[in-house]
Structure 1
Amino acid sequence: MKHLSPQEAWAWLQAETERRTAAGQEPPLFVDVRMEIESLYVGRPPGVENIPWYEYPDLTPDPARFAAAVEKEAGGKDRPVLLICRSGKRTLDAGQALEQAGFAEVAHVLHGFEGDLNDQFKRSTLNGWRHDGLPWEQM
């Protein structure tokens, strides 16, 4: 699994989208693994597909279900997949599940969408997608 900073992930996503589109291939699949409510109300990168690693009320990951949902959305296991979550922790487990399921190219965004907690227990102040000023939208 590739570990990309938010800036590196955005640059990779743009370059791979351009390269693959020119070659007549699907662009990388960008997956937000947070619960749907997190993705909608906290904010998310544009164009990201929400496929939760786990969901309320169970809050229990089901790696096989997750990998099957990503495969269905991707159209196969050869399409590159970029994962994002709140802080970059869930994507590690989700990415490992995809690799174990046979996905050829998996990357994740270090520090996720909101980044690490600061000394006052607040996110989006040290690092992360939003902190780095990358495109995002909110419901």
Structure 2
Amino acid sequence: MSHVDTILQQAHERAVLSSLSYRGALSPSEAAALLAALPDAKLVDVRTHAEWQFVGFVPDSEMNEWKHYPKMDLNPNFLSTLQATVDPQAVVMFLCRTGARSHDAAGLAAANGYSNAFNILEGFEGDKNVAGQRGQVNGWKAAGLPWTQG
């Protein structure tokens, strides 16, 4: 079994154990490994424009807000934008701040024909530390994975 197959299998097992409606749940490091190994894989960042601008983002990610800042109302164009930018047969990984919005986005994608939809656990910033700050305990940034300031 290849490294990619192992990652995909482990992510799927997490989904089964947690009764998730989508294909699997990935750690940030697993998601980065899939992006590096699978040329057609896509990372969809579902955070807000404000988060991309002020917190940072993963280079070459698709940016598609799940909710609009500041009211945090659902983006009515989320699915149509996803369908216009990401092949439903591709491995598509959803990322938000902590893994909650991306969980919902992965569920919607799976319900609409994306059979290889994955949530990235911990998100971009991860959990808060004892001082109430994100980006240091876990998540994409804390794992030292590629990102850039907005």
Q: How does 1:1-139 map to 2 (within 5 A)?
A: 1-17=23-39, 27-62=40-75, 65-74=77-86, 76-139=87-150
The structural deviation recorded for 1:55 is 0.8
TM superposition score normalised by structure 1: 0.85
Q: 2:50, 2:116 → 1: CA distance?
A: 27
Aligned CA-pair RMSD: 1.4
Q: 1:125, 1:51 → 2: CA distance?
A: 25
- Confirm or deny: 8 A CA contact 2:34 2:41 kept in the other structure: no
Q: 2:132, 2:101 → 1: CA distance?
A: 19
The structural deviation recorded for 1:86 is 0.6
Deviation by residue 1:7-58 (Cα, 9 ceiling, x = unmatched): 11101111112xxxxxxxxx11211000012012201111111100011244
Deviation by residue 1:45-102 (Cα, 9 ceiling, x = unmatched): 111111000112442224x63122101011x422221111111111001110111111
Q: Which runs of no fewer than 5 residues in structure 2 stay unpaired?
A: 1-22
Flag as ranges the 4+ runs of structure 1 deviating above 3 A: none
The size of the alignment, in residue pairs, is 128
